[in-house]
Each structure stands twice: as C-alpha cells, then as structure tokens.
Structure 1
C-alpha cells in the first residue's frame, strides 16, 4: 500500500471534518440571561449580540441596573456560545492525528499551542467577509 495515499486520505478526512465543524460553529448561537431571568440575550459564535429581550417590567429597575442586567445576560450568552463551540470542535480536538500534529508544530516552531488541543477554544470571526474558525490556547491556571 502506498503510504502517501493513506496520508492524503487522512488529510482529506480531517479537512472534511474541519469544514463541517467550522460550518456548525458558524451557525451556533449562545443564549444567556441576567441572574433574575428578566433580560435575555442571544449572541453568534463570535459573541456578537444578535437578539436582546428586555421586557417592560425590566424598565422599572432604572438605567444603571438595566444596563448591568444587559451586560450580564450578554456575557452569559457569550460563555454559552464558547462552551457550545468547544463541544462542537471536540471531534477535531480529540482526534489523535490532530493532537500529534499540534505536538509536532509545537516542537518545531516553539509556538505556545496547548499540548492538548482540547484545551483550545474555537474562535470564529470574519476575514474579508468570509467566516473562519481557529483554535486559540485557553489560559490554564498555573499550579
């Protein structure tokens, strides 16, 4: 058997999986509420606010409290989106071929990629109007 054919097949399979994960992450939404459950927010995968619900009774809290409720709901939605993105990326981040590739990259480039790609956070953004997805290292507590 030709070893290049096997390597090429692995690369193509990983690329297909990566495209699917990227597409899934690009469609995800994160949801969050303030602690009282009054204000709710929805963000896209990049954390951009897509929808905000402020019921009339929330207005009685005054401008400062309402602003804090909106911020809290938005931050909770961002955390939800990030957690969902990590879960969606798991098929890639747990693939032994990806783990080994990242270890090789770390060894030869000295970059600060996480040793375990499951510690990376998928980040979705825009580049020239195109969606893209990358894995960024997550700060881990020092022991």
Structure 2
C-alpha cells in the first residue's frame, strides 16, 4: 500500500498562529533536549507549539509552554507535558537571540518541529508583533490568493 503524501514538508507540528500574529524576521534551527518518552510522543506528532515561546535565561535558550502529550505506553517515568525544555544552539546564536529580545516589541517563537536525521529540531524565529491593520491586510491577501487559485482552477 502506498504511503499518503503530506503537504507539511515532514513537519510534526507547525505554528500557523505565529505567521498571523507576528512578522517573522531571522530564523534559527535548534535541537531540543528531550527525554525518552518525549521523543516517542514527538515522533507520533503529539506536540502542540501554538502557545510556545523561547526565553534566554542564564546563557541558555529554553522552550516554554509547549505541550508534549504523555506517552501512552510510558510508565511511572513518563514526562511532565508542559515542562521547560532546553534548546541546543551555538553560544553566538544564543547571544544574538538574547540581544534581539532585549529590543522593544521582539519575541522568539517556535515555527515548526520536525525530524532531521532522527533528531527532533525546532525552527525558531525572531518575531515582531503585528497591529490589527496588518492582520487585516494579511487576511485580505490570503483571500485574494484563494480567489485567484479558484478562478485558475475553474478555467
């Protein structure tokens, strides 16, 4: 039987809310420090990153407010779903992220979680918040593109 093709480029979780609420600037790829039951849940796509954010504390980057469901076959050593997870980045990348968040109106948000060579990776972006009129402009562009695709499909 043939495998179903997914249109999310191998992503286990995506944060569509981030592209709507923020202008995404520079992006970084970071590894996530996970326990055994966490990686099994991530591989089963039992992860939610919509409300997640990244903080730089004590010279390390931490992924907060990301929910990884408990592994169903896990025992008493199962993980806590909402714990803070350390991100694996180079020292100069962490320094750049710390300087970016020191600026007014900047935050770091997770954009995608995916597997690369068997390791869980997260794509993070330095983001600036959008105003309501920017969000309306985004909705307008999305509707126009949808109408254009619909018209080309009919012809």
Higher-RCO chain (CA-CA 8 Å, sequence separation at least 6): 2
Q: Same fold (TM over 0.5)?
A: no
TM range (shorter): under 0.3
Larger helix share, 1 or 2:
1
